[in-house]
Amino acid sequence: MAKKTSAASQAPKVTTATIHDQKLLRGAGGELHQIAEGKAPVLTTAQGGPVADDQNSLRVGPRGPLVVDDFHFREKIFHFDHERIPERVVHARGYGAHGYFETYESLAAYTKADLFQRRGQKTPAFVRFSTVAGNKGSADLARDVRGFAVKLYTQEGNWDLVGNNIPVFFIQDAIKFPDLIHAAKQEPDRAFPQAQTAHDNFWDFISLTPESMNMIMWIMSDRTIPRSLRFMEGFGVHTFRLVNAKDESTFVKFHWKPKLGLQSVAWNEAVKINGADPDFHRRDLWHAIQSGNFPEWELQVQLFDQKFADNFDFDVLDPTKIIPEEILPPQPIGRLVLDRMPDNFFAETEQVAFMTQNVPPGIDFSNDPLLQGRNFSYLDTQLKRLGGPNFTHLPINAPKCPFAHFQQDGHMAMRNPTGRVNYEPNSSGEGPRESPTRGYRHFPAEEQGTKARLRPESFADHYSQARQFYISQTAPEQRHIASALTFELSKVETPAIRERMVSHLLNIDETLANTVAQKLGFRAMPKPADAAVPTRQDLAPSPALSIVERGPKRFEGRKLGILITDGVDIKLLKGLTAAITGEKAVFELIAPKVGGVKASDGTWIQAHHMIDGGPSVLFDAVALLISADAIADIVNEAAARDFIADAFQHCKFIGYDQSAIPLLEKAGIDSERDEGVLPLPGDGPSAFVSELGKLRIWDREPSVKLGNA
């Protein structure tokens, strides 16, 4: 019979964690910290008790059961188990930054809003950018609207301008929002596709909702695949009111214009970026701000009165319509600069609570039914997401101006009124009092009518502005819209839905409808959809609607990817990188090994990526600095050929030194192909870099038969 051994005798040797010498210190807030002598603070429990061993839970014997006395383990696991809060029902994936808004000149003639009273006045700001449909962990380059939510901590309370990067919306009445979002998000039985509108439910709903057609043109354009959060516009969407000290109201539409111009990527590129770097947009914003390249937007306003509204072609309360900038030019009134990343993503970006109803005195609402529905929804959602009514106690949501009220108690109350009196009126003279002069007064608009569920006639034209958007695009942008529609509808399994969509397109632009039908392989064209109002053919194109027309003037803020090998011409590399830096752009080096290369002068140069890890979709333009000795190996490297072939098919500028020509050839590219394939040094690195400001050679696109050409 085998001899029984005790558990203890089989046990591995037990080691005891070293406990550093400690000394008690009292922190500035009066709390006790235990600080290791001259070293890091001592780890404590959430109750402040010092922890001796954070590696091993408390157990009976080396191989025995854990014991309930282990309050440190219990608290640690308990807290971890409760780390998640519900993600936002829409706009779940987001990224935020701090900054400030600076007023150019007093706007007192139009508004009494404190932040617009004084020239040069600065107001702290927090901005959260987001995608709409995807879950929190989805990829940044989904084809989707981007949220552009701005919280301005004014001296008279927080003002949240909760906008998007597109100035119109899908629906005219908030009651349809749950249907729209259900249809857009993953289908409920199968839970896919995620972060994509390319599926039956979305297009089924859309094809039954003609009011969405203007928005459809916008979301099928490159606006929904921005190159960077820094290179996109923001819009308040709805008509709001400015109200001055005399209680006079002016209607207003808000626009954020990026200082570095607009830029989007190509669809084929977006798909690849999502694989190469799903955090592409966050990484871009993080690096720009951390390196001191603070992104900036100008706030511009379209101001108009009732007379303009009465004479305008469309109803200014209809959120599916714009007022073209050529008809009513926006006026610049200030700038927004983002200059600081949050210290903690969860505390700030995740817990920030934007609410359209947060407006300071001097800003008011219009009767846009979508806006009014939103004013109802946003407070509600915070309660669910943040778990109680005291979310304004969180630092990111708290006002930065003095505030005083009698709201008290509730979950996680971190501030309660002090003293005996917690009601108003009171005879003690304690506590805050209302102020008829300083307090918020709603604009006394006169309203009348019969209570009914209805949609006004003035909202009935669903196609004219969709057409105007389409005809305002440049040729490559029109091609991209046709390709995006084709791609999305090709993922729709039900032929009747595809046909219904094309029947709407016939009301927008016949050529567009025919192109999409032909690319989808229709055997017969459907009839145009019934339209409540015929499409107006007389609306003038608005060049302001094109991204290409509003592109940057220079390469500033963009990124060049330079493929280098051992023996790289150091003079050329130094000249190129100096020219890029001089342009206020950045560069990254891609090499066969991330450890780096030995340059022509024998110096060692570190790389940022190995070729597989740094595909050209991550860059706005590329340069090939390959030595004659290295070319034979690199032409056989598939990732190097993809690097250059992708840059070419995405219509990017390509600079090359002579010895790189075999790589171009192996990727099927003629080195004299077009004005975007340029020899280096050629006219010198600076001349090459100044060409890069054009960003893309879109004329190349039809011939490379890109998916979106």
Binding mask 379-418 for ligand HDE (x = CB under 6 A): --x-------------------------------------
In the numeric block, which tokens belong to residue 595? 């450890």
In the complex, least distance from residue 169 CB atom to ligand HDE, rounded to whole angstroms: 4
29-50 burial code (b ≥16 CB/10 A, e <16): eeeeebeeeeeeebeeeeeeeb
What interhelical angle do 200-207 and 177-184 show, nearest 10?
140
Would you say the C-alpha torsion 58, 64, 68, 74 has a positive or negative sign? Answer: positive
In the complex, least distance from residue 384 CB atom to ligand HDE, rounded to whole angstroms: 9
688 neighbors 680 (Cβ within 8 angstroms): yes
In the complex, least distance from residue 156 CB atom to ligand HDE, rounded to whole angstroms: 22
Residue closer to ligand HDE by CB (options 136, 593) is 136
Q: Please, which residues bridge with residue 621 across strands?
A: 560
Return the residue of 34, 194, 377, 686 that touches ligand HDE, per CB under 6 A. Answer: 377
Residue closer to ligand HDE by CB (options 87, 298) is 87
Stretch that binds ligand HDE, among 90-98, 407-415, 423-431, 457-465 (CB under 6 A): 90-98
In the complex, least distance from residue 223 CB atom to ligand HDE, rounded to whole angstroms: 13
392 neighbors 398 (Cβ within 8 angstroms): yes
- CA 109 to the chain's CA centroid: 34
Residue 459 labeled ligand binder? no
Q: Does 309 bind ligand HDE (CB under 6 A)?
A: no
Binding mask 165-204 for ligand HDE (x = CB under 6 A): ----x----x--x---------------------------
Q: Does 164 bind ligand HDE (CB under 6 A)?
A: yes
The span from the CA of 86 to the CA of 63, in Å, is 39
Question: What order of strands is seen across the sheet that includes strand 559-564?
Answer: 609-610, 586-591, 559-564, 621-625, 654-656, 677-679
486 neighbors 478 (Cβ within 8 angstroms): no
- CA 680 to the chain's CA centroid: 36
Residue 560 has a CB neighbour count (10 Å cut-off) of 26
Stretch that binds ligand HDE, among 372-380, 426-434, 541-549, 682-690 (CB under 6 A): 372-380
Q: Does 327 bind ligand HDE (CB under 6 A)?
A: no
Task: Name the catalytic one among 72, 91, 238, 281.
Answer: 91
Return the residue of 354, 365, 470, 653 that touches ligand HDE, per CB under 6 A. Answer: 354
Residue 205 labeled ligand binder? no
In the complex, least distance from residue 386 CB atom to ligand HDE, rounded to whole angstroms: 9
Stretch that binds ligand HDE, among 47-55, 84-92, 411-419, 700-708 (CB under 6 A): 84-92
Residue 653 has a CB neighbour count (10 Å cut-off) of 24
* Active-site residue flag, 182: no
Return the residue of 163, 258, 295, 561 that touches ligand HDE, per CB under 6 A. Answer: 163
293 neighbors 584 (Cβ within 8 angstroms): yes
φ, ψ for residue 149 (rounded to 5)?
A: -100, 125
Task: Name the catalytic one among 158, 164, 274, 708.
Answer: 164
Return the residue of 72, 282, 374, 498 that touches ligand HDE, per CB under 6 A. Answer: 374
Return the residue of 35, 89, 471, 639 that touches ligand HDE, per CB under 6 A. Answer: 89
Binding mask 126-145 for ligand HDE (x = CB under 6 A): --x-x---------------
**H-helix or E-strand spanning residue 103:** strand 94-103
Stretch that binds ligand HDE, among 35-43, 272-280, 367-375, 416-424 (CB under 6 A): 367-375
Please give the residues from 574 up to 613 whose contact with ligand HDE meets the rule CB under 6 A: none
In the numeric block, which tokens belong to residue 415? 């501030």
CA distances from 326 to 323, 329, 472, 475, 548 (A): 9, 6, 12, 20, 17
Residue 385 labeled ligand binder? yes
In the numeric block, which tokens belong to residue 75? 């608290």
**H-helix or E-strand spanning residue 101:** strand 94-103
Return the residue of 150, 237, 266, 624 that touches ligand HDE, per CB under 6 A. Answer: 237
Residue closer to ligand HDE by CB (options 54, 179) is 179
Question: How far apart, in Å, do the first and last CA atoms of the chain sit?
Answer: 81
The span from the CA of 688 to the CA of 709, in Å, is 26
Number of chain positions touching ligand HDE (CB under 6 A)? 23
Residue closer to ligand HDE by CB (options 145, 492) is 145
The span from the CA of 227 to the CA of 269, in Å, is 10
Residue closer to ligand HDE by CB (options 385, 554) is 385
Strand 234-235 versus strand 32-36 pairing type: unpaired
- Would residue 256 be called left, alpha or beta, if left means φ above 0 and alpha means ψ between -120 and 50 degrees? beta
Q: Does 375 bind ligand HDE (CB under 6 A)?
A: no
The span from the CA of 510 to the CA of 567, in Å, is 56
Return the residue of 286, 294, 345, 378 that touches ligand HDE, per CB under 6 A. Answer: 378
Residue 128 labeled ligand binder? yes
Return the residue of 373, 551, 679, 681 that touches ligand HDE, per CB under 6 A. Answer: 373
The span from the CA of 363 to the CA of 267, in Å, is 39
Residue closer to ligand HDE by CB (options 98, 652) is 98
Q: Which residue is nearest to ligand HDE (CB)?
A: 147
609 neighbors 594 (Cβ within 8 angstroms): yes
In the complex, least distance from residue 372 CB atom to ligand HDE, rounded to whole angstroms: 8
Return the residue of 90, 219, 576, 622 that touches ligand HDE, per CB under 6 A. Answer: 90
Stretch that binds ligand HDE, among 50-58, 159-167, 360-368, 611-619 (CB under 6 A): 159-167
Q: Does 484 bind ligand HDE (CB under 6 A)?
A: no
388 neighbors 407 (Cβ within 8 angstroms): no
Residue closer to ligand HDE by CB (options 86, 682) is 86
Return the residue of 260, 370, 667, 669 that touches ligand HDE, per CB under 6 A. Answer: 370
In the complex, least distance from residue 103 CB atom to ligand HDE, rounded to whole angstroms: 23
* Active-site residue flag, 480: no
The span from the CA of 170 to the CA of 167, in Å, is 11
Give the three-class secondary structure for 563. Answer: strand
Return the residue of 107, 113, 141, 149 that touches ligand HDE, per CB under 6 A. Answer: 149
Closest-CA residue to 440 (of 107, 101, 113): 113
In the complex, least distance from residue 543 CB atom to ligand HDE, rounded to whole angstroms: 24
The span from the CA of 464 to the CA of 249, in Å, is 29
- Per-residue three-class SS string for 640-700: HHHHHHHHHHCCECEEECHHHHHHHHHCCCCCCCCCCEEECCCCCHHHHHHHHCCCECHHH
Residue 177 labeled ligand binder? yes
The span from the CA of 219 to the CA of 488, in Å, is 11
In the complex, least distance from residue 111 CB atom to ligand HDE, rounded to whole angstroms: 20
Catalytic residues: 91, 164
Q: Binding site residues for heme, as ranges?
A: 88, 128, 177, 374, 378, 385
Q: Binding site residues, as ranges?
A: 88, 128, 177, 374, 378, 385
Q: By CB under 6 A, name the binding residues for ligand HDE.
A: 88-91, 94, 128, 130, 147, 149, 162-164, 169, 174, 177, 237, 354, 370, 373-374, 377-378, 381
